[in-house]
A = this chain, B = another copy of it.
Amino acid sequence: MSGAVILDLSRILAGPYCTLLLHELGARVIKVEPPQGDDSRAYGPFQDGESLYFAAINRGKESIALDLKDDGDRAVFGRLAARADVIVENFRPGTMEKLGLGWDALHERFPRLIYAAASGFGHTGPDSAKPAYDMIVQGLGGIMSVTGHPGAPPARIGVSIGDLGAGIYTALGIAAALYHRERTGEATKVDVSMLDCQLSLMENPAMRYMATGSVPAPMGGRHATITPFAIFQAKDRPIIIAAGNDGLFRKLCTALGQPDWAQDPRFATNETRRALAAELATLVEGVLASHSADHWLQVMETAGVPAGPINTVADALAHPQVAPRNMVVQAGGVRMIGNPVKVWPHAANDDGQRTPAPALDGDRTRLLAEFGPV
């Protein structure tokens, strides 16, 4: 994305995560913040008075504070927009129109400017103008209803998948719109709704429901259709064993010291195993109870049976792929997660160092000089 200039009016998470992804792919991102700054500058944890929440999501960006209701600042905004490739915002729909800066107005003034909006419910439809928060969209989209243990109270997905999902899809829409503009000259409006993104992630349970009329329920630690492919308790903690076909089931039985199970006609096929999933889990856990998770993970690896731990965040960051893949980077001495989209040969130049997030309005003088007097 080198060469693309993104004017980023977005706040907090969905929009800033989108522009972080684009920045990691080479785009220049100029944050246009309100005079009081992006709200997330006040979100903890803090280090030396600076929000690390903000620092991680806004690294490498530039900042100028503009009051879009002030004529002088609006003129500055116009100078920036005239030379930007993309504007990104995640206001409630209608906000930019009230400022006279909606898609129609901007498209007329700047016909090459791509406009991208991430919102709760999208820029069309009867509930378009309603506010949304990550957790509420998680609830509306159904993901909470298929996660967790049957009969247990529902829980939030532990990351802001409502915001992050919208952020990734918006980044995809922007990259596609830039490609389209290069090929055709046409600038377009990318309109991403958090709810639509949740539904896209729910494509499988939604398809199953629409096909069968049966409402998908939480499955706990089990795969919906494959057995045994689930979380099982070892002596000290649970592990995941994924015996995805008959051959792997035979290997699993041998690894557990129970080769006779593989001959048992009740466990001959996935369908018969699935019908006896609870009984089979009891048998498997009866054997696993004799040794630790680490022991069994080693046994499974040797036997060629896919298996794995349920990592904490600390465990995850210690995975042997993390450092070689530069998945932890540093900006201003703060560690944060790196770029998940490796593009070779350019990824070879990643030294794991990043430019820190900007101070509020920290690039004003340079930006005014670069983009000219108003």
Chain A interface (Cβ < 8 Å from any Cβ of B): 1-4, 17, 21-22, 25-26, 43-45, 47, 52-53, 56-57, 103, 121-128, 131-133, 135-137, 139-149, 152-161, 164, 168-173, 175-180, 182-184, 188-193, 195-212, 215-216, 218-223, 225, 229-231, 233, 238, 240, 242, 244, 306-317, 319-322, 324-325, 327-328, 334-347
Contacts and interface: CB of A to CB of B under 8 A. Distances in A.
A206 B344 contact: no
A201 B161 contact: yes
A327 to B, nearest CB: 5
Contact of A209 (B53, B171, B317, B319): B317
A341 B323 CA distance: 33
A144 B310 contact: yes
Contact of A200 (B139, B308, B340): B340
A127 B321 contact: yes
A156 B210 contact: no
B179 A175 contact: yes
Nearest to A126: B320
Given A142-B316, A145-B310, A153 B238 contact: yes
Contacts of A317: 199, 206, 209-210
Contacts of A336: 203, 206-207, 210
Contact of A1 (B2, B179, B204): B179
